[in-house]
Amino acid sequence: MQDELQEASRKTPGQRARMSEVERLRHSCAHVMATAIARLWPDAQFAAGPPVENGFYYDVDLAHRISPADFEKIEAEMRAVTKANQPFERIVVTRAEALEYARRGRLAALSDRPAPSRFKLDILEGIPDGEPISFFRNGEFIDLCAGPHVMRTGNVGAFKLTHVASAYYKNDEKNPQLQRIYGTAFKNKTEMEAWFTMLEEAKKRDHRKIGAEMGLFAFDPDYTGPGLPLWLPKGGAMIEELEKLARETEFAAGYVRVRTPHIAREKMYLTSGHLPYYAESMFPPMELIEHEDQGARALHDPDDKFDRVLKSLQYEQHSPKEVEELVGKILGASAEAKHADADRYYLKAMNCPHHHRIFAAEPRSYRDLPLRLAEHGCCYRYEQSGELFGLMRVRSLNMNDAHIYCTTEQFAAEFNAVNEMYLKYFKIFGLEKYQMRFSTSAPEGMGKKYVDEPALWKQTEDMVRDVLKNSGINFVEAANEAAFYGPKIDVQVWSAIGREFSIATNQVDFAVPKRFGLVYRDRDNTEKTPLCIHRAPLGTHERFIGFLIEHYAGNFPLWLAPEQVRVLTIGDDAALVDYARGIVNELRANMVRVETDFGADKINGKVQRAEQSRVHTMLVIGPRDMAANAVSVRVHGKGNQGARPRTQAVADILAAIKGRTN
Amino acid sequence: MQDELQEASRKTPGQRARMSEVERLRHSCAHVMATAIARLWPDAQFAAGPPVENGFYYDVDLAHRISPADFEKIEAEMRAVTKANQPFERIVVTRAEALEYARRGRLAALSDRPAPSRFKLDILEGIPDGEPISFFRNGEFIDLCAGPHVMRTGNVGAFKLTHVASAYYKNDEKNPQLQRIYGTAFKNKTEMEAWFTMLEEAKKRDHRKIGAEMGLFAFDPDYTGPGLPLWLPKGGAMIEELEKLARETEFAAGYVRVRTPHIAREKMYLTSGHLPYYAESMFPPMELIEHEDQGARALHDPDDKFDRVLKSLQYEQHSPKEVEELVGKILGASAEAKHADADRYYLKAMNCPHHHRIFAAEPRSYRDLPLRLAEHGCCYRYEQSGELFGLMRVRSLNMNDAHIYCTTEQFAAEFNAVNEMYLKYFKIFGLEKYQMRFSTSAPEGMGKKYVDEPALWKQTEDMVRDVLKNSGINFVEAANEAAFYGPKIDVQVWSAIGREFSIATNQVDFAVPKRFGLVYRDRDNTEKTPLCIHRAPLGTHERFIGFLIEHYAGNFPLWLAPEQVRVLTIGDDAALVDYARGIVNELRANMVRVETDFGADKINGKVQRAEQSRVHTMLVIGPRDMAANAVSVRVHGKGNQGARPRTQAVADILAAIKGRTN
């Protein structure tokens, strides 16, 4: 379903509770920083101090306005704390004891410095009855905190404060404004230095900067709208190549290609379950109410009870059963409406419902399975404008999507084939480091967060786990992070400079095909619901090209380069230009993207311009080349490769493009 | 702009006035039919009797309910009228005379039988002052009619009544219900017989029927919505081939490919002029009003004056100047709105505005021109549900679109190259008959129906006419049928069974680039507005594939066939199947769409199934073939082609696909 494609880099509170090793380190460093700040400014009152992506922060209420100029002083004090190598001590107390401490600044079990924070009383009240209440102490600093922490302050090997911002307590602007001080921490100095070097390099490789330099894409918030990239010809060429790669790879793997519209009626998404759960991430509907028919209008009556309830629905406030009942009623009302035209149409936020309808369009037998429907479908998601970021978080998503419908017996082979396709792609793009994050359900979420089918959950999770284990793929398992309708795999890759990207997800779906009533006739002549695998190895064009720009620093391999070849003449002698043009025509006849620079100006300038434009291969042609029926080959970033016979040079280029090497 | 793509088969009243030869014949036949009906049922009162596509009708008010059982009787009486070879006599009268006739049934200039029709009085009142009022008489029949007619009833060589329906007078349900009797007429019997034979054949080739049989596409009005085809895998394969053809052809012609979103902000279409003129053909907007910002909300205030006026605007009611002013004010209000998110987003009904924004995304110099931006863009148009018809009239349009930006000097060469691309395509698809309908402006429409730039109109029309004349292309010129922003060419082709299809349009646009402020820096360092050519030779996938289904009766050439090859074994001997599978794998490795039939059942049944499925090439493999390292080739509809060496058969298939022959 790929709902998670843009979500993967966002951490939910639930995920934060299960801290990784480095998150534990960074959260502990937040305490170290708080200890130092409390020493320097004893009036400091602390709110929350969680780890975040690539670091940590602490919200602090303090009369002194902390600026980067203070960082050195704070870091010096932090070094004193880590040098002291204080143990982190966990102290579990009763609610009465904790309240006593929070109110009066005294707690029998603890030395009571620093002064208790007024925020902590509020936080304390938010802890549900029955959950343990714990404090953590290091040296003189004590803090209401669920942990976990490293053993001692000395375990925080290297740290650095990075920036300061203002933030409202609990991010609510009705609350007081606090200072949010950000930092990061690592096991040791070497790791930290590598991180900052990587950041420097990532800045140089910023996909927005390189994308603009190379003319790959443009944003046009004013006319087209924010978060909706226009792909310029050079970016369009890359998209064509990626789609060609997908077409070839998927054809070889037995996929067939379909095309579906970008819109559908409300009923589609009520059936899939995207409405109401996903409504906030979808564009608002187009309302067609041309007909005066009563039945159809009832569906859109703002005073209509179902309608209002549907709009106000929140995942947390209603049980799936209640929602199901309500959706059933609305679908019933919709069925009564005589005119299909009096309806809400939605831009699709995912391709699966349309593919499900294609599955349903013809009677299916077990002989038709597995059926692998592929489409580079363009979906639209309404990301908040504050969340938009270059190609990485956008509102239009051109997705390398496919849905595989299969029997339970076919599942393992199909899922394995999908993983192998990933590995094939990783090889083509020179991705050496990857990880598959296998998200499973948890018993406590059954019938709430997860479809209430414990047996199916176990069966599919076991199957996926077996496939992963047997294939020797690098994976980690994350309990209680699955999608609503089945287990999923988030694919994380590391770019050439070691930065992690969540590029795609695979999901198993045993719930939605049932909601759409999809069946196939099995050998035993009974009707069965197929399993469905959602997969998009190349993610979206937007995110994947954004990643590739950083990964290659814009120096794309020949097959992918927007300008693959430029032919440069030494001077503009007519015979020479004719010879050069012959080579250009030969390459173009083979669909090579080749440009020319045949002017009278000096060859050094021509080469320099081509290098600056990140042209992959330069064919430099002088009188000596022409006389020998040869060309001089130069490769971007690799310099002069020497003269080669013309036929050889052309054949080499075509072979490199076909093989997607280099 | 391709606005006209789906429009081309609709006749406007203006077009009707300029009747073609065959329309004149058919309209005259309507009078012949009315003469016959008036003889048979003297109480008949006649309303309108225009020619329509492929025939004519007459609306008649009559106590007797006419049914097809009456047709023979009416036709016999009509034959008597044509045999009498009565002259059609035009009688111009004054309004007073006409009113006299209509009121009292008497007109000095005329014999006053039959009784005057009460509808004619109404029609008479609708004729503007100053326009001539004419009657036409043949024999005893007289009718208020603008004409024109053929010379004599005997010129109606052959005719046939086809069906009868009910219709309200003036198509308004508040008016009385009439009987609408349809028929058709031809110069002679041979032509009429050819027509009905063609209709029979067209029925057999109905794209909806063959499309369903072959599993090319499906409609899903219930979930996806009416008029929004789902392309099933076999239709998807054809789309892939058509896009590949376009990619190759356009690459060779120096086009570059872009990708643009399917939506844009209201401002885009206010600027292009599609709002308000084209609003009724667009899907309703998606309204984003998340922000509380005053400026942004004003734009969406239902009480807002501009807003209301914009919605109520009709082309006929306001001068272009008034509309321009109003749109300018709305754009001004929009510019003041701080949040891009509080806006209306529209599904695009055409790709040009997005392409214009790509042109505007980078500074352009004369050196960058011509710039040819191509995209298989998917547009959405809100056709009334009653107008939807299979793939021929749909709401989603996958368009083979491109926009060529060029200087005036480059125009002729570019326009000629576009026409040559058409001819290349016609050859590939075996289209022997075509016509380019060149629509020009008319002085009386300047500043009203047409952008008020008489000099530019003359210049571009002259250029287009010269190109057409010099290239020897088959064209006709139609005055006063141009688009708002420039002259256009509608491309009409005739299918293998002689039916005409409007498949695409080329349009010259010298107005909209200016509205978008598009400029390039010319040699003389001044800024100039480029000309823009809109073109889509392959039309839309929907309409073009609909046409191809009829044209080929579903028996597509090898390169286009959804299932190109099926390999059939004589029996299921393991070694034989292995040999067959080797051939399958070789073909698949070359991206050939090949299926297998390796079962134990008889070869005759296998061949029959493959023929029924319209598989292009069948490779039949028996023990003798295997022993000789050969295959027996069978081609759909052409029968057995004999045995061929395996390598030869494979090479032939690959060559035919590559060359798009057969």
- Identity of the amino acid at B248: E
- Identity of the amino acid at B106: R
Chain B residues with beta carbon closer than 8 angstroms to that of A345: 225, 283
- Identity of the amino acid at B502: S
Cis peptide bond N-terminal to A87, omega within 30: no
- Identity of the amino acid at A500: E
Tokens (6 digits) for B295: 């400026």
B506 touches B415 (CB < 8 A): yes
Q: Which residue of B has its CA nearest to A397?
A: B261
Model pLDDT, residue A330: 64
Q: Are residues B255 and B279 in the same domain?
A: no
| Angle at CA of residue A401, ends A396 and A404, nearest 5° | 155
- Of A148, A172, A200, which closes a domain? A200
A226 to B340: CB separation less than 8 angstroms, yes or no: yes
A54: left (phi over 0), alpha (psi -120 to 50) or beta: left
Interface test with A, best of B220, B240, B348, B381 (most A CBs within 10 A): B220
Model pLDDT, residue B311: 46
Selecting from A225, A235, A591 the residue whose C-beta is nearest the C-beta of B265 gives A225
What φ, ψ does residue A68 adopt, rounded to 5°? Answer: -50, -25
| Angle at CA of residue A24, ends A22 and A28, nearest 5° | 115
Euclidean distance between CA atoms B196 and A509, whole angstroms: 53
The CA-based diameter of chain A, rounded to the nearest angstrom, is 96
Model pLDDT, residue A322: 66
A56 touches A26 (CB < 8 A): yes
Chain B residues with beta carbon closer than 8 angstroms to that of A382: 288
Q: Is residue A226 part of a domain?
A: no
Selecting from A225, A341, A345 the residue whose C-beta is nearest the C-beta of B385 gives A341
pLDDT above 70: percentage of residues in chain B: 86
The contacts of residue B352 (CB under 8 Å, 6+ apart) are B1, B2, B272, B401, B403, B509, B512, B532, B534
B288, pLDDT greater than 90: no
Strands B594-597 and B565-569: parallel
Q: Are residues B605 and B621 in the same domain?
A: yes
Q: Are residues A476 and A362 in the same domain?
A: yes
B417 touches B253 (CB < 8 A): yes
B225 to A343: CB separation less than 8 angstroms, yes or no: yes
B1, pLDDT greater than 60: no
Selecting from B215, B228, B247 the residue whose C-beta is nearest the C-beta of A261 gives B228
Chain A residues with beta carbon closer than 8 angstroms to that of B588: 251-252
B608, pLDDT greater than 80: yes
Q: Are residues B457 and B435 in the same domain?
A: yes
For residue B591, the 8-state DSSP code is T
Stretch A400-418: mean pLDDT? 96
Query: Residue A611's domain is classified under what CATH number?
Result: 3.40.50.800
- The string of pLDDT tens digits covering residues B73-91 is 999 999 999 999 999 988 8
Q: Which residues pair with B259 in a beta bridge?
A: A231
Chain A residues with beta carbon closer than 8 angstroms to that of B394: none
Q: Are residues A195 and A124 in the same domain?
A: yes
Range(s) of the domain holding residue A379: 236-260+350-552
Q: Are residues B597 and B469 in the same domain?
A: no
B268 to A224: CB separation less than 8 angstroms, yes or no: yes
Interface test with A, best of B219, B230, B247, B658 (most A CBs within 10 A): B230
- Identity of the amino acid at A128: P
Question: Closest approach of chain A CAs to the CA of B440, in angstroms?
Answer: 31
- The string of pLDDT tens digits covering residues A131-148 is 888 888 898 888 888 888
Give the residue, A365 or A11, on which the prediction is more confident: A365
Q: Is residue B212 part of a domain?
A: no
Question: Closest approach of chain A CAs to the CA of B268, in angstroms?
Answer: 5
Q: Which of B659, B637, B627 is nearest to B646 (CA)?
A: B627
B207, pLDDT greater than 90: yes
Cis peptide bond N-terminal to A148, omega within 30: yes
| Angle at CA of residue B511, ends B509 and B517, nearest 5° | 115
Query: Residue A490's domain is classified under what CATH number?
Result: 3.30.930.10
B603, pLDDT greater than 90: yes
Q: Which residue of A has its CA nearest to B335?
A: A222
Q: Compute the Cα dihedral for B305, B310, B311, B313 and give only its sign.
A: positive
B261 to A229: CB separation less than 8 angstroms, yes or no: yes
Model pLDDT, residue B315: 40
Model pLDDT, residue B316: 43
Q: Are residues B578 and B462 in the same domain?
A: no
Stretch B638-657: mean pLDDT? 96
Q: Which residues pair with A110 in a beta bridge?
A: A107
Question: Closest approach of chain B CAs to the CA of A87, in angstroms?
Answer: 49
Q: Is residue A214 part of a domain?
A: no
Q: Is residue B101 part of a domain?
A: yes
Residue in the structure block whose two tokens are 């090889």:
A427
- Identity of the amino acid at A73: K
Model pLDDT, residue A116: 54
A340 to B222: CB separation less than 8 angstroms, yes or no: yes
Q: Which residue of A has its CA nearest to B285?
A: A286
Q: Which residue of A has its CA nearest to B373?
A: A233
Euclidean distance between CA atoms B381 and B283, whole angstroms: 6
Chain B residues with beta carbon closer than 8 angstroms to that of A248: 591
Euclidean distance between CA atoms A659 and A649, whole angstroms: 15
Selecting from A230, A285, A591 the residue whose C-beta is nearest the C-beta of B358 gives A230
B267 to A223: CB separation less than 8 angstroms, yes or no: yes
Model pLDDT, residue B262: 98
Euclidean distance between CA atoms B504 and B3, whole angstroms: 10
Q: Is residue B559 part of a domain?
A: no
Q: Which residue of B has its CA nearest to A338?
A: B222
Average pLDDT, chain B: 86
- Of A517, A552, A587, which closes a domain? A552
Euclidean distance between CA atoms B167 and B29, whole angstroms: 20
B358 to A284: CB separation less than 8 angstroms, yes or no: no
B308, pLDDT greater than 90: no
Residue in the structure block whose two tokens are 């990239």:
A229
Chain A residues with beta carbon closer than 8 angstroms to that of B272: none
- Identity of the amino acid at B369: L
Model pLDDT, residue A319: 60
Q: Is residue A270 part of a domain?
A: no
Give the residue, B156 or A135, on which the prediction is more confident: B156
A476 touches A15 (CB < 8 A): no
A-B interface: how many C-beta pairs under 8 angstroms?
199
Euclidean distance between CA atoms A207 and B31, whole angstroms: 72
Give the residue, B125 or A521, on which the prediction is more confident: A521
Q: Which of A642, A570, A555, A645 is nearest to A600 (CA)?
A: A570
- Identity of the amino acid at B169: Y
Model pLDDT, residue B164: 93
Q: Is residue A222 part of a domain?
A: no
B103 touches B168 (CB < 8 A): no
B379 touches B348 (CB < 8 A): yes
Selecting from B258, B286, B347 the residue whose C-beta is nearest the C-beta of A231 gives B258
Euclidean distance between CA atoms A600 and A568, whole angstroms: 11
Chain B residues with beta carbon closer than 8 angstroms to that of A398: 259
Indicate the helix (H) or strand (E) that contains A423: helix A408-428
Stretch B365-383: mean pLDDT? 96
Q: Are residues A607 and A466 in the same domain?
A: no
Q: Is residue A265 part of a domain?
A: no
B226 to A252: CB separation less than 8 angstroms, yes or no: no
A38, pLDDT greater than 80: yes
Question: Closest approach of chain B CAs to the CA of A265, in angstroms?
Answer: 5
Residue in the structure block whose two tokens are 């399917």:
B262
Number of domains observed in the structure of chain B: 4
What φ, ψ does residue B530 adopt, rounded to 5°? Answer: -75, 155
Average pLDDT, chain A: 86
- Of B347, B367, B386, which closes a domain? B347
Where helices occur in B362-407 by DSSP H, the ranges are: none
Euclidean distance between CA atoms A658 and A516, whole angstroms: 41
B6, pLDDT greater than 70: no
A346 touches A269 (CB < 8 A): yes
Strands A371-380 and A256-257: parallel
- The string of pLDDT tens digits covering residues B399-426 is 999 999 999 999 999 999 999 999 999 9
Euclidean distance between CA atoms A563 and A541, whole angstroms: 18
Q: Are residues B97 and B69 in the same domain?
A: yes
Stretch B512-519: mean pLDDT? 94
- The string of pLDDT tens digits covering residues B319-343 is 656 666 766 666 666 555 544 456 8
A127, pLDDT greater than 50: yes
Q: Are residues A109 and A162 in the same domain?
A: yes
Interface test with B, best of A214, A216, A217, A220 (most B CBs within 10 A): A220
Which range, of A340-354, B432-446, B585-599, averages the lowest pLDDT? A340-354
- pLDDT-derived band at A10, boundaries 50, 70, 90: very low
Q: What is the ipTM of this complex?
A: 0.84
Selecting from A285, A380, A588 the residue whose C-beta is nearest the C-beta of B263 gives A380
A350, pLDDT greater than 50: yes
- The string of pLDDT tens digits covering residues A55-79 is 999 999 989 999 999 999 999 999 9
Q: Are residues A404 and A472 in the same domain?
A: yes
- pLDDT-derived band at A289, boundaries 50, 70, 90: low
pLDDT above 90: percentage of residues in chain A: 63
Q: Which residues pair with A475 in a beta bridge?
A: A436
B310, pLDDT greater than 50: no
- The string of pLDDT tens digits covering residues A211-259 is 999 999 999 999 999 999 999 999 999 999 999 999 999 999 999 999 9
**First-residue to last-residue Cα distance in chain B:** 34
Question: Closest approach of chain A CAs to the CA of B293, in angstroms?
Answer: 14
Sheet holding A396-406, edge to edge: A256-257, A371-380, A396-406, A531-535, A500-509, A488-494, A434-439, A475-478
A230 to B361: CB separation less than 8 angstroms, yes or no: yes
A575, pLDDT greater than 80: yes
Selecting from B256, B357, B380 the residue whose C-beta is nearest the C-beta of A236 gives B256
Beta strands in B97-157 (DSSP E): 133-138, 141-144
Query: Residue B68's domain is classified under what CATH number?
Result: 3.30.980.10
Q: Exposed/middle/buried for B641, CB within 10 Å: 0-12, 13-18, 19+?
A: middle
Task: To the nearest 10°, report the CA torsion of B610, B613, B617, B622.
Answer: -10
Model pLDDT, residue B374: 98
Chain B residues with beta carbon closer than 8 angstroms to that of A252: 588-589
Q: Which of B4, B45, B51 is nearest to B29 (CA)?
A: B51
Q: Are residues A256 and A286 in the same domain?
A: no
